[in-house]
């Protein structure tokens, strides 16, 4: 990316998108943030609105977009089960029609385009850790399929545009990421545990808590995406971006209780449908190709994230109002 680049970020007011917009502005780029505010929040981008190099466009990428840019980061899609299962048809449309629209725009402009894919393309994996060559174990008709299969189809479209039109594509498979600007009521495990602990409520553990995840701090993740975009055109991915340090859900809950000093107890509920038993990225390719590896340990990242959530709770954020 050169300093005069104009960069389009779809989903730019979301958790990851807002951090990416911030990093791009710091690098000297002009940033066009596109969001329909289904899960994105204006508060995430408030500090950027006064920048002469930042522009906000309210738009749903299931509809074509006619703008000018040099690079496109396609991050638009609800990413937590609570939100992507709220309107599963729209979730699939966002992944599939959104990919078609950004790829069509990139084709016209000969722009680089990066797809924010997901570790969910691996489903409930039978291979551990998951390398990029693993094809996955996904239930195509389950309640999570709108997200899993939508992202898989988006990857298909990206590679077909690359083969058929020589489009300049990049595909990143993002593993669990956390940090400031997560929606506090988004249903993801890190935010759930932190909010429950800060309120002194029981932490809800699904199953026996032995299922594992690998958690990447947001700053590390954004660094990986930018590095991937800056690679030569022949580097297409898919490339796993995530932290390979693996933790059980019970260990995560206990760590959050310890950091917050909360009196909360841990309670258990049945596992949701198709909930993966384990998830850990093989990041060998990211190391070799991008010179990238995560640097923020889980405890340090949790301390920063808890401080952010604690501040919002102290302000009485309307987002936290119980139904």
Q: Which sequence positions are flagged as catalytic?
A: 147
Residues in Cβ contact with 201 at an 8 Å cutoff, skipping those fewer than 6 apart: 264
Of 306, 308, 290, 289, nearest to 298 by C-alpha is 306
Residues in Cβ contact with 3 at an 8 Å cutoff, skipping those fewer than 6 apart: 27, 28, 29
Contact call for residues 243 and 215 (beta carbons, < 8 A):
yes
Residues in the chain: 323
Beta-strand pair 246-248/212-214 = antiparallel
Task: Please state, in angstroms and rounded to a whole number, the distance separating the CA atoms of residues 101 and 279.
Answer: 31
């Amino acid at each position: 990316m050169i300093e005069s680049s104009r960069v389009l970020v779809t989903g730019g007011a979301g958790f990851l998108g807002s951090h990416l917009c911030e990093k791009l502005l710091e690098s000297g780029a002009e940033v066009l943030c596109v969001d329909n505010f289904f899960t994105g929040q204006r508060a995430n981008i408030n500090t950027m609105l006064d920048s002469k190099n930042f522009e906000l466009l309210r738009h749903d990428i299931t509809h074509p977009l006619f703008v000018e840019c040099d690079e496109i980061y396609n991050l638009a899609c609800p990413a937590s089960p609570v939100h992507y299962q709220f309107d599963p048809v729209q979730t699939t449309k966002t992944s599939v029609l959104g990919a078609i629209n950004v790829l069509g725009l990139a084709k016209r402009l000969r722009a680089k385009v990066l797809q924010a894919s997901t570790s969910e393309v691996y489903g409930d994996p039978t291979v551990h850790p998951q390398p990029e060559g693993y094809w996955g174990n996904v239930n195509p008709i389950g309640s999570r399929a709108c997200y899993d299969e939508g992202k898989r189809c988006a990857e298909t479209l990206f590679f077909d545009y690359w083969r058929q039109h020589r489009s300049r594509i990049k595909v990143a498979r993002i593993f669990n990421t956390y940090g400031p600007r997560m929606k506090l009521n988004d249903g993801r495990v890190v935010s759930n545990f932190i909010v429950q602990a800060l309120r002194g409520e029981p932490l809800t553990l699904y199953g026996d808590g032995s299922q594992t995840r690998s958690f990447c701090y947001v700053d590390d993740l954004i660094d990986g995406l930018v590095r991937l975009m800056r690679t030569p055109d022949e580097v297409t991915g898919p490339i796993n971006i995530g932290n390979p340090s693996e933790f059980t859900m019970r260990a995560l809950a206990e760590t959050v209780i310890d950091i917050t000093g909360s009196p909360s107890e841990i309670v258990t509920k049945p596992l949701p449908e198709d909930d993966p038993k384990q998830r850990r990225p093989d990041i060998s390719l990211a190391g070799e190709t991008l010179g990238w590896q995560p640097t923020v340990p889980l405890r340090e990242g949790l301390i920063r994230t808890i401080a952010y959530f604690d501040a919002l709770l102290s302000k009485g954020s309307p987002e936290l109002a119980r139904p």
